[in-house]
Structure 1
Amino acid sequence: METSSSIDLTDLVVFDMANNHQGDVEHGLNIIRAVGEVASRHGVRGGLKFQFRQLDTFVHPSHKEGSDNKHIPRFLSTRLTTADYEILKEEVEKVGLVSICTPFDEDSVDIIVDMDFDIIKVASCSATDWPLLEKVADSNKPVICSTGGLNLDQIDELYSFFTHRGVDFAFMHCVSIYPTPPEHLQLNQIDLFLKRYPGIAVGWSTHEDQDETAPAQIAYAKGARMFERHVGIPTDTITLNAYSSTPEQLDRWLAAINRARVMCGEVNVRPAPQEEEITALASLQRGVFAKEPISSGTEVTRDMVYFAMPIGEGQLPSGGLRPGVVAKIDIAADAPLHLEELVMPRPAADRVIKKAIHEVKAQLHEAGVHLNTDFHIEYSHHYGVEKFREIGAVLIDIVNREYCKKIIVQLPGQVHPQHFHKRKEETFQVLSGVLNVVIEGRKRVLYPGDTVLVQPGMWHGFWTETGVVFEEISTRHYNDDSFYKDKKINAMERHERKTVVNHWGRYEIRDKLVG
């Protein structure tokens, strides 16, 4: 089966016209134009959605007149022809919107394909209709699927179904109560979807009070990157239902989502602080001042200074004082200690490692990797501890019997030198981040889930630009079984290129490095 045609489903707002066309083509055109204008004004990538039902076969003959089902009379009274929908779809494309359609029967899927709609939307009521879902999956169209009223087992099954069928798809969190009261919005489901269903866009199909904008902002902050909203235009003879937006309500709603986008900022990245922020904080910081005269060449200790605000330009901040700071000139009592007047010590070896530990733990947390307390760690620093942040890795030994498992963490930009093992065979599997591996001169780029085999005798090295967490599954590890291309590393004692500690080595690192 061919995979679905490619279209980006993220950052898409779906405007559901449903039966708001009221069976009137001209009214439908007015809705499309109004929605297109509002979407364009807010720079939104929008899609206009229709609903198709082949009513002659969709509705049972006994219900075509006098049905007690509240939906059927409405469906019958708002019927449009395929030619009518062709006119409406042409207007959708003219105003710059994506064309979307929800089929409620298999024949409608064929018509959607023939009319070349961009996206198929599966309604919540059809998300367990497997004959229809099979037809949708064969359409070769991207699919957005709402999940109102489904339990997790059913959603899991949908995720597996669309994935196995090679469909480009997205899920919409949805509560099928019209309108939906605040206590039933369940916006935390967006978090659950993002964790449970990786690799797809996650959105929210909304049915709440149309004057409410906070729920959409919360949903965006939760990670929803698609939204769906019922739209319409009231007239002297047409009254909108409680879950459909007028153009004015839609305008306020889209503005609120855009404000949320601006307020939320970067995703998975800590942005550099703004200059205004730095200046504001600096005005509240303390600087280091001499408590007594300090002579040139004297090591500055805590009892010789005091901390006070405001801090001056180029002055040593209170957090910057540490052992080994030496005055380069005579400093008078109450005078500030300026950085240019001081000899600052190089970071102690244990400080380099301890600082890196905070980053390593953060990467493990972000990757969702949990450790027992019964492990020991190798801090690899083949070119000295002072270069650990550039050339190094953290190897966490989980088990070492006839089989061996390690979790290896590299910080962004770290490199591990090329080497081989005579006895050990190992397989790497990336858990988080991106790992670059060179094996026998061939480079490979590994993403989460990817594996690579390194057989005995194979030259290999690895590095990362993003930071990476990966597993090493191998035969037994031997301490004398690593041979490096750089012969200077081979000449080093093991403790010179590795610091091995129990657990994180909170109280061992300094002693081992000094020793």
Structure 2
Amino acid sequence: MKKVEHVNSNVTFNFENLFVLDLANNHQGSVAHATKVIQSLSQVVQKHGVNAALKFQFRQLDTFIHPMHQKDSDNNHIPRFLSTRLARDDFQKLLDVAQGCGFKSMCTPFDEESVDVITEMGFDIIKIASCSAKDWPLLNKVAEAGLPVIFSTGGLELRNIDDVVSFFEHRGVDFAIMHCVSIYPIPREKFNLNQITTLKARYPDHVVGWSTHEAPSMTVPIQIAVAKGAQMFERHVGMEAEGISLNAYSSTPEQIDTWISSWKEALVLCGANERPATSIEEANAIASLRRGVYAKKPIKKGVAISRDQVYFAMPYVDDQLESGAWKDGIVSQQDIGKDDPVLANQVNVPHNTDQQIIKTAVHEVKAMLNDAKIVLGSDFEVEYSHHYGIKNFTKTGAVIINCINREYCKKLIVQLPNQDHPEHFHKLKEETFQILSGTLHVKVEGKTHTLEPGDTCLVQPGVWHSFWTDTGCIFEEVSTTHYNDDSYYKDKAINKLERHQRKTKVDHWGRFQLELMVK
């Protein structure tokens, strides 16, 4: 048998939307029966155009089972393993069939010798069963194999999963995680599909999937799993034949067809994670229900319209000022009759006040902090930096949250999408930026660095630097003591401004102070 060499590289395996079809012992010890199962499943996979792996299970039974239990055992698994034994050459035939049908090849080893067989035969992926996830001699052997790995989490506590994740990460193993409940079939109250969300939050750098053991007729669980964020799916497969019946948790090709169809339906129902643009249909539906601004009494040209001169009512007509756009200070540009719609081209609508510009920005900043799961207490100070005036704040500036300023200083700096901070240096302060969320571009002494979450950038005293973001960004600034008026800008016009002209400084978010400080 020719040994297949596996070479580690920087290319990672794509686990996303992978369907794992576990043949287990449902080959019934028959190459002919297993071949029919694989070929029937391949038709389903090709019909749906999905990425699928056909999975075997390897046990070197002469050594895996204790000698005293080889002929007679009260362990109900052992007689099944022995009765469905296949030789290595038989498995090679089935592997050739699976690969010929376009399947990725996967195998679950239950002993160290099986890992060697898997690598020699040229499998694509190794699967760690839940019962082996604390079997450290086996895990060590698997880590040495150099193949992508999927491990199941049935019966594990979070600390056990932490151990396996850290173990594989430290050894550079490319791996994914399966939420799994090792009960066959799973009772409804034991699915615990919220664990998918838990695992995704705890291990954000790894694909999390759902290994199922429910009754094959159940399609709701895979749809919920999709909604919870599962990106990989596994279930046992087989076919009934004369003298062969399936267990309560294995699916026929027809049931796999229905299962994958349910997955596709769930994808459509869930849609994208990003907030989508409003469709024409939805916009029209909303427009048909919104209220427009109408004149309660005749309005003369050139008059500042007061609230008591208008009312809001359906229907909204094209080009009308809608109720949500009403604000004080609107001036009529022509006469408007009683009960006539107030059209946008008939009035002059004042620009947003500086106060409103900042308040709107604060709403977005708070949402960004929530999205990044950054929690603030109530004892902090905020600076709204607006180097070219508040009206230009969303283009140039930043929100600086001052947390600590002693011999050491810590700030959180939040920039909105497409916001920049002008080039400057500090005479006294040394600072280090560390990115918490989003992408930040930092120019230091003319050289641009693009920083992702976790990246750091040192800025020493006297060093010119600026920063900007396309995505919106939150980063931590850790520095020596901050001193006011220690920022020197390349644009001399900024240097000439009084501090209050380029910064609005408030306690907390300034919910009530802004009303007094900014109009």
Partners of 1:171 and 1:403 lie apart in 2 by 41
Partners of 2:497 and 2:11 lie apart in 1 by 57
Partners of 1:191 and 1:3 lie apart in 2 by 30
Partners of 1:387 and 1:5 lie apart in 2 by 44
Structure 2 gaps, min length 5: 1-6
Return structure 1 stretches of 4+ with deviation > 3 angstroms.
1-5
CA contact (8 A) 1:439 1:458 kept: yes
Residue 44 of structure 1 pairs with residue 50 of structure 2: yes
Partners of 1:252 and 1:233 lie apart in 2 by 15
Q: Could you tell me which residue of structure 2 aligns to residue 277 of structure 1?
A: 282
Q: Could you tell me which residue of structure 1 aligns to residue 270 of structure 2?
A: 264
Matched length: 513
Residue 456 of structure 1 pairs with residue 461 of structure 2: yes
Residue of 385, 389, 401 corresponding to 2:390: 385
Residue 430 of structure 1 pairs with residue 435 of structure 2: yes
Counterparts of 1:353-372 in structure 2, within 5 Å, are 353-372=358-377
Counterparts of 1:184-203 in structure 2, within 5 Å, are 184-203=190-209
Partners of 2:49 and 2:268 lie apart in 1 by 13
Residue 243 of structure 1 pairs with residue 249 of structure 2: yes
Partners of 1:33 and 1:386 lie apart in 2 by 66
Residue 151 of structure 1 pairs with residue 157 of structure 2: yes
Counterparts of 1:279-298 in structure 2, within 5 Å, are 279-298=284-303
Instruction: Give the superposition deviation at 1:6.
Output: 2.8
Q: Could you tell me which residue of structure 1 aligns to residue 21 of structure 2?
A: 15
Partners of 2:11 and 2:134 lie apart in 1 by 24
Instruction: Give the superposition deviation at 1:91.
Output: 1.7
Counterpart residue identity of residue 59, structure 2: R
Q: Could you tell me which residue of structure 2 aligns to residue 210 of structure 1?
A: 216
Instruction: Give the superposition deviation at 1:386.
Output: 0.9
Q: Could you tell me which residue of structure 1 aligns to residue 79 of structure 2?
A: 73
Residue of 83, 90, 100 corresponding to 1:84: 90
CA contact (8 A) 1:101 1:120 kept: yes
Partners of 2:49 and 2:9 lie apart in 1 by 30
- Three-state SS of the structure 1 residue aligned to 2:25 is helix
Residue 317 of structure 1 pairs with residue 322 of structure 2: yes
Residue 401 of structure 1 pairs with residue 403 of structure 2: no
TM-score, normalised to structure 2, is 0.97
CA contact (8 A) 1:49 1:102 kept: yes
Instruction: Give the superposition deviation at 1:94.
Output: 1.9
Partners of 1:379 and 1:5 lie apart in 2 by 43
Q: Could you tell me which residue of structure 2 aligns to residue 473 of structure 1?
A: 478
Residue 121 of structure 1 pairs with residue 137 of structure 2: no
Residue of 220, 234, 238 corresponding to 1:232: 238
CA contact (8 A) 1:392 1:416 kept: yes
Partners of 2:429 and 2:43 lie apart in 1 by 65
Partners of 2:92 and 2:329 lie apart in 1 by 79
Partners of 2:121 and 2:442 lie apart in 1 by 48
Instruction: Give the superposition deviation at 1:472.
Output: 0.5
Counterpart residue identity of residue 319, structure 1: G
Partners of 2:473 and 2:300 lie apart in 1 by 48
Partners of 1:251 and 1:242 lie apart in 2 by 17
- Three-state SS of the structure 1 residue aligned to 2:166 is helix
Q: Could you tell me which residue of structure 2 aligns to residue 493 of structure 1?
A: 498
Instruction: Give the superposition deviation at 1:79.
Output: 1.3
CA contact (8 A) 1:21 1:27 kept: yes
Instruction: Give the superposition deviation at 1:408.
Output: 0.6
- Three-state SS of the structure 1 residue aligned to 2:81 is helix
Counterpart residue identity of residue 189, structure 1: Q
Partners of 2:36 and 2:79 lie apart in 1 by 24
- Three-state SS of the structure 2 residue aligned to 1:113 is helix
Q: Could you tell me which residue of structure 2 aligns to residue 509 of structure 1?
A: 514
Partners of 2:348 and 2:188 lie apart in 1 by 61
Q: Could you tell me which residue of structure 1 aligns to residue 108 of structure 2?
A: 102
Partners of 1:91 and 1:324 lie apart in 2 by 77
Q: Which moved more, 1:465-474 or 1:1-10?
A: 1-10
**Closer, same or farther: CA 5–82 of 1 in aligned 2, 3 Å:** farther
CA contact (8 A) 1:4 1:142 kept: no
Residue 54 of structure 1 pairs with residue 60 of structure 2: yes
CA contact (8 A) 1:2 1:166 kept: no
Counterpart residue identity of residue 444, structure 2: I
The CA deviation string for residues 21-56 of structure 1, in whole angstroms up to 9 with x for no partner, is: 111111111111111111222222111100011111
TM-score, normalised to structure 1, is 0.98
Q: Could you tell me which residue of structure 2 aligns to residue 169 of structure 1?
A: 175
Structure 1 gaps, min length 5: none
Q: Could you tell me which residue of structure 1 aligns to residue 336 of structure 2?
A: 331
Instruction: Give the superposition deviation at 1:172.
Output: 0.5
CA RMSD of aligned residues (A): 1.2
